[in-house]
Amino acid sequence: MKLAICHPVVEPARGGCETYISMLLNRLCKDGHHVHLLASRWDSKTIPSRVQIRPIPDFSHPRSMRPWRFSSAVHRELKRESFDLSLGFDKVLGVDVLYPQGGVYAASAQHSRKRFAGEWKQTVVGWLRNFNPAHWSMDLFERYQYMHSPPPFVLAISDFTRTHLMRHHGLPATQINVLRSAIDPERLTATDRPARRVLSRQRWGIEPDDVFGIFLGVNPRLKGLGPLLDAIAVMPDRRRFRLGVFGVGEPTPYQRQAKQLGIEDCVRFVGYHSDIRDVYFSGDFLIHPTFYDPCSLVVLEAIAVGLPVITTRSNGAVELLDTPADSRVVDNPHNHKALATAMTEFLDNDQRRTAGRAAIRSAAKWTFDDHYRELLRLLELAHRRKRVA
């Protein structure tokens, strides 16, 4: 199949969507598909040499116009050559298949207000957003995505996302195909895992008997780092607990918060680390108290390496967990007591190891191979629909 993959930036270090696209490009090329990448920026080390890259101008500013200008350039490029299918993964118009890895903007805006504790703050933030031109532009753009004629073949990354597509855009359930996310476990394998664990923990000042919880997120406000620090402060006994904060580019506000809470000795602000395996291998469990996540890849990666998970109901990845066997799920990141209780339970070595074994079993139930086979089936269905149209 000749495919056009359309996404502005494909740099896996940026986050889950870009990581997924990189994995997909590698698998499609391995299976002999003819793949073209329409992107403005990419990490050549993660792109197979067989991929034909068709550069799109980098429309970084203004933010409110970025998806419109990218879509216009993609449209011109797609008209120059015939493809069996074009695939978009977020904010792009006019593609044959739309698989919004970032979920639904309207739902994200609604959930992100919950970062602020207190209903009056959430109301004020929602009201102020109405004066933000970028918000209006993004909201209008997303409406156009699903009103476009002919309408795209829609894939939802989770039932969580499908519900939001139905609620915010009026799409019927029959028009939405749920294809849950998955990760390639090959990128997490290593023959020297025990040695990596020891060296990484030493590097970050973690003692052998410490229980090391890891937080991974490039958007710490949305992923709940602030409430997580508050929760650590109310843990009844945190002497053995340490938190590693990874991926956060500007940690200063959170370092200040940790100091004010008197927990700076518990927290290691590591930032970006080039080999994600070191992060997972060094950890004892993952904490991802997100306010909104269509289907978090870090959760799927964590269970694949046998780490129990603490997350929230606002994460589509909970559909792939077997709670409470492999995880703890809280309703609200601002429920500091519930988060503290979950972390305290995983300080117990027996509970944590039992949950880790359950996590591996959960990961085996839905693999990247399963995901990829279902994706190909859905792409064939979309291709048949396109030919008929």
Domains along the chain with CATH numbers: 2-182+368-388 (3.40.50.2000), 188-365 (3.40.50.2000)
Segment of 54-58, 143-147, 198-202, 236-240 carrying the highest mean pLDDT: 198-202
- Predicted confidence (pLDDT) per residue in 223-252, tens digit: 999 999 999 999 999 999 999 999 988 899
pLDDT of residue 315: 98
Closest CA to 19 of 133, 187, 138, 154: 187
Backbone angles phi, psi at 298, to 5 degrees: -65, -30
Partners of 87 in the β-ladder: 5, 97
* Mean pLDDT in residue range 198-218: 96
For residue 86, what are its two tokens? 């074009």
Do residues 328 and 348 make contact, with C-beta atoms less than 8 angstroms apart?
no
Comparing 136 with 75, the larger pLDDT belongs to 75
CA 264 from centroid of its chain's CA atoms? 27
Give the model's confidence band at 33: pLDDT under 50 very low, under 70 low, under 90 confident, else very high.
very high
* Mean pLDDT in residue range 270-291: 96
286 three-state secondary structure? strand
CA atoms within 13 A on the CB side of 44: 5
For the cut 70, the answer to whether the pLDDT of residue 106 exceeds it is yes
For the cut 80, the answer to whether the pLDDT of residue 149 exceeds it is no
Euclidean distance between CA atoms 128 and 125, whole angstroms: 5
Over the chain, what is the mean pLDDT?
A: 93
Between the CA of residue 279 and those of 7, 67, 212, 251, what are the distances in Å? 27, 33, 10, 17
Euclidean distance between CA atoms 263 and 242, whole angstroms: 10
Euclidean distance between CA atoms 298 and 305, whole angstroms: 11
For the cut 70, the answer to whether the pLDDT of residue 120 exceeds it is no
Q: What is the pTM of this model?
A: 0.92
